[in-house]
Structure 1
Amino acid sequence: MLEFKRAWRLCLLMITAVLLTGCNSTQDFSLSSFGNSVAGPDLPASVEPYPDDQVLTVAKVHFTERNYGSAARYYERAVEVMPNNPEAWLGLAASYDRVRRFDLADRAYTEASRFMADRPEYYNNVGYSYLLRGDVAKARSNFLRAQELDPANLTVNNNLELLRDNANRIGSKQG
């Protein structure tokens, strides 16, 4: 059990590192159709104002500190001011995953896919989203797609190993 917890912590750290990558595009999007005022037990109704050029950094800090509700709010603001920033969309989706708002995460992943559907970090994060939901088959499929795109990606390979370990444990408990 201790090894499993360590693996999950390592996985979370690696996902955070993946979120720190990005690329650019020129498409436009308005968050108003996204329903950005969806408060809940883990999503604060509002956050402190920061200058537009700092909001993405603040979002990353909250995510790293496991303040996922606050991270989601700051990422929401980030995609409002930088609608073409894939890193902001991927961070928003990951934050929604962590507060179990998978409906909103799916929408953010759809937006992220416009900018980075050919990137391993996109498929890794989508795979992790499905893993959080308990859909191991879809998680594995996305992790394998990420591995196709970057066979040496440590995060992806660790996530696949995590799935294998879990499958082996489940198999040994049933046998």
Structure 2
Amino acid sequence: METRLGLEHYNRGSYGLSQRYLKDAVEKSPKDLTAWIGLAASYDRLRCFDLADQAYAQAIQLGGETVQILNDQGYSYMLRGNLSAARRKFEKAYSLDPGNPVIANNLKLLNGSRRFIERPPNNQP
């Protein structure tokens, strides 16, 4: 019940409520992989990256490095501005599921971010 409510709040953009329900879910059912992944994503959106890393670690311990977890971790690193770590996670996810449009889109987004962030030297166009 908590997992479903947490994911519903996440999808509505209510990340604080999402985190609250999903934290409750993992406390009641520590082997609920979906709740751990959702909790990690909620922490990312709340910019609590240290807690997100802990939740991702729990999820990996339960289910291994799945395509979803790798993709989510890549997005987490992108939110932090760590583009090289994001690329490594996205590329690993893409190698496991090359037809996945979400991962392809995240790689495209990352490439756009890199061009936006990396400026020419001496502010030359």
Normalised to the residue count of structure 1, the TM-score between the two structures is 0.65
Q: Unaligned 5+ residue runs, structure 1?
A: 1-53
Q: How does 1:19-58 map to 2 (within 5 A)?
A: 54-58=1-5
Q: Write out per-residue CA displacement over residues 86-145 of structure 1, whole angstroms, 9 at most, x where no aligned residue.
A: 110000000011111111111001000112323110100011111111100101110001
**Higher relative contact order at CA 8 Å, sep ≥6: structure 1 or structure 2?**
1
SS of equivalent to 1:142: helix
Matching residue of 1:122: 69
Shift of 1:166: 2.3
Aligned pair partner of 2:16 in 69, 76, 100: 69
Matching residue of 1:21: none
Aligned pair partner of 1:134 in 81, 94, 104: 81
Shift of 1:55: 1.0
Shift of 1:168: 3.2
Aligned pair partner of 2:91 in 144, 153, 168: 144
Q: How does 1:85-96 map to 2 (within 5 A)?
A: 85-96=32-43
Which AA in structure 2 matches 1:74? Y
Q: Report the identity percentage.
A: 41
More helix by share: 2
SS of equivalent to 1:83: coil
Q: Distance in 1 between matches of 2:49 and 2:87?
A: 18
- RMSD over aligned CA atoms reads 1.3
Normalised to the residue count of structure 2, the TM-score between the two structures is 0.90
Q: Unaligned 5+ residue runs, structure 2?
A: none
Shift of 1:85: 1.4
Q: Establish whether residue 84 from structure 1 lines up as the match of residue 43 from structure 2.
A: no
| Preserved contact between residue 83 and residue 114 of structure 2 (Cα < 8 Å) | no
Matching residue of 1:164: 111
| Preserved contact between residue 116 and residue 122 of structure 1 (Cα < 8 Å) | no
Which stretches of structure 1, 4 residues or more, deviate above 6 A after TM superposition? none
SS of equivalent to 1:152: coil
| Preserved contact between residue 76 and residue 92 of structure 1 (Cα < 8 Å) | yes
Q: Distance in 2 between matches of 1:138 and 1:75?
A: 26
